[in-house]
Amino acid sequence: MNTPLDAPGFPREEVAERARHGVAAIYPDAARYGVSVFGGTVPVAADALDAMRLVPPVFVPRRLEKLIELGREPVHHDVDLRTDIGGFASSLPVYVSAFGSTEVAGRDLGVAVSGQAAACGIPVVIGENVVPVNGYRSVDRAGRSMLRRVHAYLDAVPDGLGGVVVQQSTEDADAEVWNLVYSDPEARALLDSGRLAFELKVGQGAKPGLGGMTLLDSASAAALQGRYTIDEAGADGRRLRHSSPGTFTEEVLRQQIRLMRNNYPRARTWVKLPPARDVLAAFDIAVTAGADAVTVDGAEGGTGWAPKCFLEHVGLPLAECLRRIGEPAARSGCLLVSGRFWEGSRTVKALALGARAVGIGRAALLAAAAHDDGVRNFVRALSAELQLLIAALGKYSPEPLSSEDVWDPSGAPHAPAWDASAYHDGLAEAP
């Protein structure tokens, strides 16, 4: 039956797509897979963080302090961007956020990003499912394995800077990924220099409440059968691999962090949270349990495959995550945030609202694809913007930035300081 019907104001084409393609229509166009990065699609007009403005003051006592220290008027080049990120020294308040075994990252781009980010002296997170899908090592160091990314980083990182963070999902835990890295002589240089961390993935921005998803050809899907949930993905014969999101309660999260610290005492402990409604409670539990850094992906975050309804309608925008956590709580630990960071003003706003550093994911992949030196050139440009913006605010490092530097046109109040001990004693609920 193919009778055209008129339906003014109704998304007729979207319905027709579902009628023609079934389940495949709830995902982005499969033809873009492998040549595109996905993730949050929150439009700029709806992004509260972008709507905010940085507001320099008239009176700049910190500039006077810098003038006395230098014996001359300070300029933006005098802004020192060096930042401690989850126990790692970084050349600026930026790290490369996780991308794992997706087709785009699994090609040479993932390795190129690792090497160039290392040369810039910024930490890199190696995302979930790289080992279960691509293996831990390749004999010729030329495959898509995790160790190839580690080698690329170690070959380029300057002394005293950077670090590698290995993320673990449920399937990674089954593959004992952290044990492989921690005991491998080829990764020993990371441990010996204090530049290895393990990140417990609780959730992500692109699809909070779900695990990772990757499109596979039939042969690859058959090889992973039994380790993952595999679904039909469309008429082209490819299959959709689902990871488990994991099951967390407050006590499970506490115990997981304690186990990480006890079992891997020479590695730093990171935790990645989704943009969930109880993000403040989860952040506080992770910090008090001893996490060196807690990453929060906004709904704008993520680079991987996800259902369109999740990309457009599920999860809190990053500005709301920052508001719910609040600057006082964020300063109690090391809050890292990701979600559509690619230029300086959005970065400085996030830092002023309590973040220690921001993650670049899609921007790093796009930069690596655009030019052989793309990530390094991108980081140089971002560094220059950060120095100019922070200097304009009368400050000369990221650390003094605060909410006084940001005007929020919505007038929405940010979360006040709250009594974490009362929450842990069961006397109060997290806001």
- Domain containing residue 74: CATH number: 3.20.20.70
Domain annotation covers residue 229: no
365 three-state secondary structure:
helix
417 three-state secondary structure:
coil
pLDDT at site 229: 77
pLDDT at site 431: 40
Domain annotation covers residue 360: yes
- Taking the model in full, what pTM does it have? 0.83
How many whole angstroms separate alpha carbon 242 and alpha carbon 256? Answer: 23
| Domain count along the chain | 1
- Non-local (6+) Cβ contacts of 11 within 8 A are none
DSSP structure string for 270-307: EEEE-S-TTHHHHHHHHHHTT-SEEEEE-TT---S---
Domain annotation covers residue 419: no
Structure tokens that stand for 64 in this block: 């006077």
Domain annotation covers residue 34: no
pLDDT at site 231: 74
Domain annotation covers residue 24: no
Domain annotation covers residue 17: no
- Non-local (6+) Cβ contacts of 37 within 8 A are 99, 102, 104, 303, 304, 361, 362, 365, 366
pLDDT at site 106: 46
Domain annotation covers residue 273: yes
Domain annotation covers residue 31: no
Residues of the chain with pLDDT under 70: 1-28, 30-46, 100-108, 129, 132-134, 138-144, 220, 224, 226-227, 232-237, 302-304, 413-431
- Non-local (6+) Cβ contacts of 225 within 8 A are none
How many whole angstroms separate alpha carbon 17 and alpha carbon 393? Answer: 50
Question: In which domain, by residue range, is 156 found?
Answer: 44-210+245-414
For the purposes of burial, counting CB atoms within 10 Å of the CB of 328, is it exposed (0-12), middle (13-18) or buried (19 or more)? middle
Q: Which residues pair with 213 in a beta bridge?
A: 242
pLDDT at site 35: 47
